[in-house]
Structure 1
Amino acid sequence: MTWGTIATWRMAHDGVLKAAEMLKNKETAGDAVESLINVIEEYPYYKSVGYGGLPNEEGIVEMDAAFMDGDTLAQGAVGGIHNVLHAVSVARKLSNEHYNSFRVGEGATKYATINGFKMQNMLTDRAKKRWQKKLLELKDESVTPYDGHDTIGAITLSEAGSMAAATSTSGLFMKKAGRVGDSPLSGSGFYVDSEIGGAAATGLGEDIMKGCISYEIVRRMGEGETPQEACDHAVYPFVKKLKKRYGKAGEFSLVAMDKDGDWGVATNVEFTFSVATSTEDPQILIAHPSANGTTMIEPITQEWLDAYEKRIKAPIE
């Protein structure tokens, strides 16, 4: 039987390895996607998700996350949640609620506390040093305040034919307090329907949400396009439209997988992702946009991986 999982960025790979083992063992798509993201949320060197995530301008780590069940279309989400290790797990529990399934700020944090989720200070010393360094840099008015907004977005497909999607992020580094991006927004940061497939996004949320791109990719797959065709046809024309009508477009990267385990990717920047299926061993790949509105995908090099590991663990000076 077919199973599969795909997730954004190289940092997802250890989570993809875990999800792949779970799916091989016939565990559910929901359990697999939650576990995939939990792995990343716990790792302190990933500066845009969970523990170690970079804070807002006030030095507070505010996290956004979402979960969607492709069988029932049930969704749960949190925005601006504080002091909880696994924001995506809170989102998944909220997906069981018919009402009040999207909680933000103090309401989200209180819900997590009441329901026994692991609470802790999410600001690591390393992330605090990055924040303090940025505060000094911002005294130079030519320096942009915003960088670091890499969301983990993941799709899973179980042998039973069920699918799930989930996202988790600490959002835009140095964002204004209370800012929420696309990651917890249905149709923008994620969408999945087990009868069709799913998609998830990473990049600048303010621009991704202008196009509801994740839903558009799923809609196109439902009309017969392959995941790669759907990604190319949804992402690149919209980036052009946004540049023409809004004047600019931020970073866009999306991954997709259909109910048969086929997958696709589109991006307007250099973009790494991880994928594993019943017919493909887990692998990290790198994607680039081409001049003709399609996506170029190639294996990652060991040199790139070595440089990445060195970069994310380099001392903060």
Structure 2
Amino acid sequence: MKLTALGGLTPLTNWSPHLPTTSGKNNKPVVISTWNHGIPANEEAWNILSRKGTALDAVEAGVRIPEADPEVRTVGYGGYPDRDGFVTLDACIMDEKEQCGSVAALQHIKHPISVARKVIEESPHVMLVGEGALQFALDQGFEKENLLTEASRKDWEEWKEDADYQPEINIENHDTIGMLALDSHGNLSGACTTSGAAWKMHGRVGDSPLIGAGLFVDNEVGAAAATGLGEEVIRTCGSHLVVENMRRGDDPETACKKAVQRIVEKNESVNNIQVGFIAVNKQGQFGGYSIQQGFNFAVCESDNNRLIDAPSWVS
């Protein structure tokens, strides 16, 4: 997929994340998101942020782009199914007031992130799952659709020939778009949405819809999101850990690195594990870090939308 950037600029790789991103003043607005599909997602989010819209509206609109793109095989419509052939989606969203909504194991709804937002606005709960989440979505007026595209169905049929579950680093493990935004009002919000690990057991839920694991926002400090092997992120409450690291004074990249280190230290080997974190603090500084090479994230500020290769524990 050819990447483009706002303002006619080409995406920037091999950028040094150690360069300062602020000069002591709030560097806002800014939006940061995981992986290559973060470029078009950021563009949609920036359309809102640049008009002084809210971070919450921006992150919802931004991640809806890959949710609706059948070429993004790890998010939303066209996502890889589980081992039984069902496309099940997970998503969560969180605003500057720590209001949050989440759905997990949701079938037949193209935009789980918007259902998650409705959980905040139209229910007394934080998380809905499975059939309950589907019924809630239908009651809210969402359309029931078949999310299994012909391309994903064919891949599933081929996988069933051997039924070997060995997720490939930065492919099946590159399963999420997490997005964080700081708006012109100085408020933070975040969103995370995924179709989960390809060929997962039916009913498996990863970190993406779990507040504190796949996403966490504290408007006094910063926000963080995770991608990769969800089980490892859940075990360490990864995104919450990143935010707490920033609370103790770490810059975003260092906060992400320390969260990665926690995962590395808890595993005898990380040869087959990939986890990446992104973070942004209240001043608009941002960063990312991963276990393995190959993780990248997109950043947009001042009409400059670019792709950055994250530093990694394994070089």
TM-score (norm 2): 0.86
Alignment of 1:66-145 (within 5 A): 66-69=92-95, 71-96=96-121, 99-138=124-163, 143-145=164-166
Aligned to 2:246: 221
Instruction: State the 1:249 CA deviation.
Output: 6.8
Paired with 2:195 and 2:313, the residues of 1 have a C-alpha distance of 30
Q: Identity over the aligned pairs, expressed in percent?
A: 35
Aligned to 1:261: 284
Work out whether 1:53 is the aligned partner of 2:76: no
Secondary structure in structure 1 of the residue aligned to 2:66? helix
**Structure 1: runs of 5 or more not aligned:** 297-317
Alignment of 1:138-153 (within 5 A): 138=163, 143-147=164-168, 148-149=172-173, 150-153=175-178
Aligned to 1:6: 32
Instruction: State the 1:248 CA deviation.
Output: 7.4
Paired with 2:299 and 2:312, the residues of 1 have a C-alpha distance of 19
2:61 pairs with one of 7, 20, 35: 35
Paired with 2:97 and 2:310, the residues of 1 have a C-alpha distance of 32
Paired with 1:290 and 1:212, the residues of 2 have a C-alpha distance of 19
String of CA shifts for 1:169-205, please: whole Å, max 9, x gaps.
Answer: 0001111111100001111100011111100000011
Instruction: State the 1:261 CA deviation.
Output: 1.1
Aligned to 1:212: 237
Secondary structure in structure 1 of the residue aligned to 2:257? helix
Work out whether 1:285 is the aligned partner of 2:298: no
Q: Pick which of 97-106 and 85-94 moved more.
A: 97-106
Contact 1:145 1:174 in 2 (8 A): no
Secondary structure in structure 1 of the residue aligned to 2:102? strand
Instruction: State the 1:275 CA deviation.
Output: 0.6
Aligned to 2:22: none
Contact 1:261 1:277 in 2 (8 A): no
Change in Cα spacing, 1:201 to 1:247, as seen in structure 2 (3 Å) is closer
Instruction: State the 1:37 CA deviation.
Output: 0.4
Instruction: State the 1:231 CA deviation.
Output: 1.1
Counterpart of 1:126 in structure 2: which amino acid?
A
Aligned to 1:240: 264
Counterpart of 2:301 in structure 1: which amino acid?
T
Counterpart of 1:38 in structure 2: which amino acid?
R
Work out whether 1:165 is the aligned partner of 2:190: yes
Alignment of 1:290-301 (within 5 A): 290=313
2:228 pairs with one of 203, 217, 220: 203
Paired with 2:255 and 2:126, the residues of 1 have a C-alpha distance of 29
Aligned to 1:305: none
Counterpart of 2:165 in structure 1: which amino acid?
T
Paired with 1:191 and 1:222, the residues of 2 have a C-alpha distance of 13
TM-score (norm 1): 0.85
Instruction: State the 1:208 CA deviation.
Output: 1.1
Counterpart of 2:126 in structure 1: which amino acid?
S
Contact 2:221 2:243 in 1 (8 A): yes
Counterpart of 1:276 in structure 2: which amino acid?
C
Counterpart of 2:41 in structure 1: which amino acid?
G
Q: Pick which of 75-84 and 115-124 moved more.
A: 115-124
Instruction: State the 1:273 CA deviation.
Output: 1.1
Work out whether 1:250 is the aligned partner of 2:276: no
Instruction: State the 1:119 CA deviation.
Output: 2.4
Alignment of 1:179-198 (within 5 A): 179-198=204-223
Counterpart of 1:40 in structure 2: which amino acid?
P
Work out whether 1:156 is the aligned partner of 2:181: yes
Aligned to 2:295: 271
**Structure 2: runs of 5 or more not aligned:** 1-25
Paired with 1:168 and 1:98, the residues of 2 have a C-alpha distance of 20
Paired with 2:122 and 2:111, the residues of 1 have a C-alpha distance of 18
Paired with 2:141 and 2:165, the residues of 1 have a C-alpha distance of 39
Paired with 2:273 and 2:244, the residues of 1 have a C-alpha distance of 23
